[in-house]
Amino acid sequence: MSSAAPSSFPAPTNNLVSPLLTDLYQITMAYAYWKTNQHRRIAHFELFFRKNPFGGSYTLFAGLDEVLKFLANFRFSDSDIDYLRNTPQLSHCEDAFFDDYLSNLDCSEVIVHSLKEGSMAFPRVPLITVTAPLGIGNLIETTLLTLVNYPSLVATNACRMVVAARGQFWEETAGANPPRAYSPPSKLNRGGGGGMIGGRGGGTSSGGVLGDSLYFSKTPRKSIQLAEGGPLDFSRKKPRCVEFGLRRAQGPDGGFSASKYSHIGGFHATSNLLAGKILNLPIAGTHAHSFVQSFTSLDSVVGASVKRKKGGSDDMVELLPMALQYRQETGWTDTNDGELAAFIGYASSFPDGFLCLIDTYDTLQSGLRNFIIVSLVLDDLGYTPRGIRLDSGDLSYLSLECEFVFHQMADRFDRSFFFDLDIVASNDINESILHSLNKQGHAITMFGIGTNLVTCESQPALGCVYKLVEVDGKPRIKLSNDMEKVLIPGRKVAYRLFGEAGWPLIDLLVGVNEADQPSVGERTLCIHPFMEQKRVAVVPTRVVKLHRLVFDGKNGGVVLDKVSSLDDTRQFVKDQINHTRPDMLRYVNPGEYKVSVSEQTFRFLHNLWQSETPVRELR
Amino acid sequence: MSSAAPSSFPAPTNNLVSPLLTDLYQITMAYAYWKTNQHRRIAHFELFFRKNPFGGSYTLFAGLDEVLKFLANFRFSDSDIDYLRNTPQLSHCEDAFFDDYLSNLDCSEVIVHSLKEGSMAFPRVPLITVTAPLGIGNLIETTLLTLVNYPSLVATNACRMVVAARGQFWEETAGANPPRAYSPPSKLNRGGGGGMIGGRGGGTSSGGVLGDSLYFSKTPRKSIQLAEGGPLDFSRKKPRCVEFGLRRAQGPDGGFSASKYSHIGGFHATSNLLAGKILNLPIAGTHAHSFVQSFTSLDSVVGASVKRKKGGSDDMVELLPMALQYRQETGWTDTNDGELAAFIGYASSFPDGFLCLIDTYDTLQSGLRNFIIVSLVLDDLGYTPRGIRLDSGDLSYLSLECEFVFHQMADRFDRSFFFDLDIVASNDINESILHSLNKQGHAITMFGIGTNLVTCESQPALGCVYKLVEVDGKPRIKLSNDMEKVLIPGRKVAYRLFGEAGWPLIDLLVGVNEADQPSVGERTLCIHPFMEQKRVAVVPTRVVKLHRLVFDGKNGGVVLDKVSSLDDTRQFVKDQINHTRPDMLRYVNPGEYKVSVSEQTFRFLHNLWQSETPVRELR
């Protein structure tokens, strides 16, 4: 092998990512290859998964950027070599294995092709292929899997949640960049909608009476279409999703990766500051229950004041007296004092970012009312309150009730900001709850999602595998009693065939040396890899070759123009989701997307399978 | 605050662990505390969980070591401060907040008490308590949760799997250190057992005939007692568990942490080399399917040889001719040639560690037979073969069948090593499958567990919370419509009361200033925190105060004699499991362990609850 390292490229984000972050058996195999002189045979590996996660119809491929960093910097350190040399399992190995082989090993002979990061991917179509000498090709297996499995899983989970929350992916104009900071949707790109929140005071109080009333007594709203098959058309803001999962993640970089890859999947912001700093992601967050609890009486906010922004003067104005006046005026004198103090304290610190958690003591009887009292004060002084967060209870009922009271207040005090308030919900939200909330109706404008997003609770592992499919030009197969686990042998080219409707029809795997490769307008026979009867003739309007060269160790390593920014990848995801067969986005029983093989590949697979399988005898 | 940093202590293992690995709202709250001059009030926080994971009766506390590293090294970097200063949400904040407060902030005023690492922990009993100025006490919340949640979850999951696999925790003598390397159990500490595998050739072939037969036609074995309530008494080795999860973990340090904390939970070894290197853990692994696939014919191992270890001479002996002779002798001439070549290649590289994956082509017709052929050769040359690994199919049937054939071979060729072979199983093992295998019967001696261990598939998050319970000596409460979420306010001392049987009876939380603290031999009233009628009088034979000072910022930071080694923690876990009420270890409907409060704490909680709750009116 060459000892010239591939061109320099940033190190992996996590310092644990190194050649030794792998399984022992990769090293024992490397030794056995080296010892039997197999290590330089050219092998071809495919990294793929066998089943889409979450009962869904697609997977988003993610993690390529860290894979490239790992490959570009692959080198065992001296202390790694020392460690290996002294492990009991390897202590008998010949010195030359460590000194000549491992010490000099890098990825200069490795060639990697992959899907574009953010691609919708389907079972058996490789996310990544590796062509390399057998030794190094095997050694990178575990690390590559670790770097692809979770990012792809969490990006997919995030995207599914965004689709569930919004009923469609994004309403912004294609190409618009997501904002760099937590700005409530009211200020940005509000699309669709109209109706009851379109105008100040419009239509909201007509059916209600002042005082608390249940949401079903209100003015009828536009009916809510369910997410199946088409966009929702709420007469409200389309909810956004924000990632709040760091504390519940599976380790620090579980949290960091969740922030990163949920952005690709369409999340609007993260609470994670380190991800904000390193990845330049929009961040979000205001305060917790402990903040509210820590204030015990109104005394603690005597003197808390903000600069007046309207009415000509810019004097400092104390908030407490004004708040007490509104408290008197509304008659809400029994709200929790500590909570009111906390909201005043928060308002004096963040007059432009006043969003309060209102369920510390009692959501409707205390939190909501204290928020409204302080909101009115801020509005008087020229600041626009942001909204509320609900973290417990019946989110459908509470959000609608809060919205209703806001609309009452808009009317009573003649203030328009009440129509633009965010209602953030954040209590153990998952994809199923999002769909359920759509059915129940709600007034939530933003979902804060933690545990279920970052741990991918309904399926916490994707199950990618990395399989040898060819050695020295000879296709290899692995058999299994479980048909799903049988490999499609040999190097293949993967195509995505598009139809007249503009969306992809089918993926097709064709042996790399086959004469017939698909092309636009030509009839192509596509066969299920294991069931000859399942076949279809496709005349594609567009044919996309799915894999691109992303790493070529001999020629400078990482192919730089194939590295996408996070925002570009996010946009690519959005474009694909917006051009996907609608039935594939269903939550229940989504339509399946087919992955097929050419006729020649089908024959080849089944002949090899036959020839490698001993005939069993039963007596 | 003091600007003298606590004494030096190693940095966190993961470079991402830093003060900025937190939620934005910790910083916005810090600013609001600072701005309203609350930041120096002394607060008391509790880190606890509300429900044991996996439907179980206990949780193992883990992650303390990384918490201490984080606290000892807590300092915002200049670039962190720059980043914060320029985030849109914080850009209006006063410079002094960044320059005077955050820039100088460390944990020199933080005091932390915790359970001993590895402790069995129960809902509501704090794992960690923090006493600190409100500002810094809040700022460390998210990172502490991230560092405790997953380690505790995965240690608990591991321990449950070990209990399931072995029927009891360990059979070794208490205090024995686990070996530092992958040595098959046959060589180490084999306990219990006896019976059919106690002697060479004993009793195994009497009921069988040569050739393939189904396992139920064999000599009856000692019946298997199920794990409910007592130790299994297999007439075989007690299976060990090995961690194989890196590739499926949620990110690189999800994998690393799983290796670390599953060791605490009783796992025998890990495949993860980096964990082996950094933590000095035993490692395990041999080869994968790809190794077998990569060998295409017997030609590739012509010349592969090992040094003869018995028979007087130490010449190099070629393996292939001897293998072909045994192939002839057994009549197993139609096994897969590539596989036989791979096994010969592996044997020549690891003659002392010959353990083969046998299911690449056909487990019983090819893999098992090829393994036996090469085993016989190695045994002839003085090497002891290790065993086989099964990675697909019916593990109960296949393991019993393999064992049966081994015993036939022992008889036929008069070789005792066949009785000591390991049978490793590794296909999507989880706790439920372990229990199911116990019921079905199996001959597995080692389980390789990956995905389900490291992702904690049946419950991927523990859900620890970090709650403010006191400020400046005033107990604080958080209410909730969900009774489970109501806090027990104030600083409390936690006791574990032991009974005459030697195991813990109940945990008891007592207000720190209460006159009556429990003591040995005295009758103590213990009340359910929310249901007055659920109470019990306990006369403890032993009273253990659960929390210990582990970090004192003013006095040198980490209290070094409270930092346990991984092996000590593992031993502590084992001792506790071996002295636990047996019903608590049941898989289905385990007995609950009670956590109670003193009468005075009960009254105090309910009075405060009453006084902070507004009376709702329904009309």
Mutate to test the interface with A, among B273, B424, B458, B486 (most CBs of A within 10 A): B273
Tell me the average pLDDT of chain A. Answer: 87
Give me B341's structure tokens: 């070549």
Nearest to B480 among A149, A392, A482 (CB): A392
pLDDT value of position A565? 94
Closest CA to B450 of A149, A469, A261, A31: A149
pLDDT band at B228 (very low <50, low <70, confident <90, very high): very low
In whole angstroms, give the CA distance from residue A454 to residue B437. 32
B581/chain A closest Cα distance in angstroms = 30
Q: Do B149 and A248 touch (CB under 8 A)?
A: yes
Average pLDDT over residues B16-39: 96
Containing B45, the helix (H) or strand (E) segment is strand B42-48
- Contact residues for A54 (Cβ-Cβ < 8 A; gap 6+): A156, A157, A160, A431, A456, A458, A459
- Contact residues for B327 (Cβ-Cβ < 8 A; gap 6+): B333, B335, B340, B373
In which residue are the tokens 């087919």 written?
Answer: A594
**Residue A242 exposed, middle or buried by CB count within 10 Å (0-12, 13-18, 19+):** buried
A579/chain B closest Cα distance in angstroms = 30
Which ipTM value was assigned to this complex? 0.87
Average pLDDT over residues B417-441: 94
A436/chain B closest Cα distance in angstroms = 20
pLDDT value of position B554? 94
- Contact residues for A207 (Cβ-Cβ < 8 A; gap 6+): A217, A218, A219, A220
Which stretch of A224-238, B190-204, B483-497 has the lowest confidence by average pLDDT? B190-204
Q: Do B150 and A250 touch (CB under 8 A)?
A: yes
Q: Do B451 and A463 touch (CB under 8 A)?
A: yes
pLDDT value of position A483? 73
Reduced to 3 states (helix: H, G, I; strand: E, B; else coil), residue A73 is coil
User: How long, in residues, is chain B?
Assistant: 619
In whole angstroms, give the CA distance from residue B132 to residue B108. 9
Q: Which residues of A touch B15 (CB under 8 A)?
A: 14-15
Residues A160-194 have pLDDT tens digits of 999 999 875 544 433 333 333 323 333 223 333 32
The answer, yes or no, to whether residue A126 has pLDDT greater than 80, is yes
pLDDT band at B575 (very low <50, low <70, confident <90, very high): very high
With contact defined as beta carbons under 8 Å apart, do B406 and B443 qualify? Answer: no
Closest CA to B399 of B354, B448, B444, B438: B444
Instruction: Using CA coordinates, name the residue in chain A closest to B618.
Output: A212
pLDDT value of position A168? 55
Q: Do A16 and B253 touch (CB under 8 A)?
A: yes
Residues A307-339 have pLDDT tens digits of 999 877 889 999 999 999 999 999 999 999 999
Radius of gyration, CA atoms only, chain B: 29
Q: Which residues of A touch B361 (CB under 8 A)?
A: 479, 612-614
Q: What are phi and psi of A154, to 5 degrees?
A: -75, -35
The answer, yes or no, to whether residue B558 has pLDDT greater than 80, is yes
Measured at the alpha carbon of residue B229, what is the angle toward residues B223 and B233, in degrees to the nearest 5?
30
Residues B509-531 have pLDDT tens digits of 999 999 999 999 999 999 999 98
The answer, yes or no, to whether residue A211 has pLDDT greater than 70, is no
In whole angstroms, give the CA distance from residue B369 to residue B375. 10
Q: Which residue has the higher pLDDT, A233 or B53?
A: B53
Instruction: Using CA coordinates, name the residue in chain B closest to A347.
Output: B32
Nearest to A287 among B32, B182, B456 (CB): B32
pLDDT value of position B561? 84
CA of A303: how far to CAs of A167, A345, B31, B426, in Å?
A: 46, 10, 16, 66
Reduced to 3 states (helix: H, G, I; strand: E, B; else coil), residue A44 is strand
Instruction: Using CA coordinates, name the residue in chain A closest to B93.
Output: A349
Which stretch of A405-414, B87-96, B325-334, B470-479 has the lowest confidence by average pLDDT? B470-479
User: How long, in residues, is chain A?
Assistant: 619
Q: Which residues of B touch A183 (CB under 8 A)?
A: 88
With contact defined as beta carbons under 8 Å apart, do A255 and A243 qualify? Answer: no
Q: Which residues of B touch A127 (CB under 8 A)?
A: none
Nearest to B150 among A251, A294, A461 (CB): A251
In whole angstroms, give the CA distance from residue B504 to residue B509. 15
Q: What are phi and psi of A257, to 5 degrees?
A: -65, -35
In whole angstroms, give the CA distance from residue B454 to residue A149. 13
Q: Do B287 and A28 touch (CB under 8 A)?
A: yes
Q: What are phi and psi of A351, to 5 degrees?
A: -60, -25
The answer, yes or no, to whether residue A152 has pLDDT greater than 80, is yes
Average pLDDT over residues B402-407: 96
Residues A573-619 have pLDDT tens digits of 999 998 888 899 999 999 999 999 999 999 999 888 888 776 777 77
pLDDT band at B168 (very low <50, low <70, confident <90, very high): low
Mutate to test the interface with A, among B349, B374, B469 (most CBs of A within 10 A): B349
Q: Do B249 and A150 touch (CB under 8 A)?
A: yes
pLDDT value of position B619? 73
Closest CA to A220 of A397, A441, A436: A441
Q: Which residues of A touch B35 (CB under 8 A)?
A: 304, 345, 348-349
Q: Do A141 and B482 touch (CB under 8 A)?
A: no
Mutate to test the interface with B, among A70, A273, A296 (most CBs of B within 10 A): A273
In whole angstroms, give the CA distance from residue B227 to residue B224. 9
A589/chain B closest Cα distance in angstroms = 23
B517/chain A closest Cα distance in angstroms = 28
- Contact residues for A225 (Cβ-Cβ < 8 A; gap 6+): A167, A231, A232, A233
Q: Which residues of B touch A252 (CB under 8 A)?
A: 14, 16-17, 21, 146-147, 253
In which residue are the tokens 């302080």 written?
Answer: A374
**Residue B531 exposed, middle or buried by CB count within 10 Å (0-12, 13-18, 19+):** exposed
Residues B452-489 have pLDDT tens digits of 999 999 999 999 999 999 999 998 877 766 777 788 99
* Prediction pTM value: 0.89
pLDDT value of position A538? 96
Q: Do B138 and A334 touch (CB under 8 A)?
A: no
Containing B151, the helix (H) or strand (E) segment is helix B141-166
Residues A371-421 have pLDDT tens digits of 999 999 999 999 999 999 999 999 999 999 999 999 999 999 999 999 999
CA of B78: how far to CAs of A11, A252, B24, B88, B98, in Å?
A: 22, 21, 17, 18, 10
Instruction: Using CA coordinates, name the residue in chain A closest to B146.
Output: A247
Q: Which residues of B touch A285 (CB under 8 A)?
A: 23-26, 28, 89
Average pLDDT over residues B374-382: 97
Q: What count of other Cβ atoms lies within 10 Å of the Cβ of residue A41?
A: 18
Residues B277-307 have pLDDT tens digits of 999 999 999 999 999 999 989 999 999 999 9
With contact defined as beta carbons under 8 Å apart, do A204 and A213 qualify? Answer: no
CA of A515: how far to CAs of A87, A469, A511, A512, A518, in Å?
A: 50, 20, 9, 9, 10
Give me B321's structure tokens: 């001719």
In whole angstroms, give the CA distance from residue B34 to residue B30. 6
pLDDT value of position A203? 31
Q: Do A149 and B392 touch (CB under 8 A)?
A: no
Residues B134-148 have pLDDT tens digits of 999 999 999 999 999
In whole angstroms, give the CA distance from residue B110 to residue B367. 60
In whole angstroms, give the CA distance from residue B600 to residue A504. 68
Closest CA to A460 of B43, B153, B115: B153
pLDDT value of position B237? 72
In whole angstroms, give the CA distance from residue B467 to residue B105. 21
pLDDT value of position A238? 85
pLDDT band at B614 (very low <50, low <70, confident <90, very high): low
Residue B355's DSSP bridge partners are B387
Nearest to A614 among B33, B296, B334 (CB): B334
CA of B182: how far to CAs of A87, A351, B166, B188, B280, in Å?
A: 10, 61, 18, 11, 13
Nearest to A285 among B24, B253, B291 (CB): B24
- Contact residues for A87 (Cβ-Cβ < 8 A; gap 6+): A24, B181, B276, B283
A503/chain B closest Cα distance in angstroms = 32
B342/chain A closest Cα distance in angstroms = 9
Instruction: Note the helical H segments in A51-173.
Output: 64-72, 78-85, 95-96, 134-139, 141-166
With contact defined as beta carbons under 8 Å apart, do B271 and B242 qualify? Answer: yes
Give me B97's structure tokens: 């907040």
Instruction: Using CA coordinates, name the residue in chain A closest to B617.
Output: A365
Nearest to B274 among A21, A276, A478 (CB): A21
The answer, yes or no, to whether residue A225 has pLDDT greater than 60, is no
In whole angstroms, give the CA distance from residue A551 to residue A130. 9
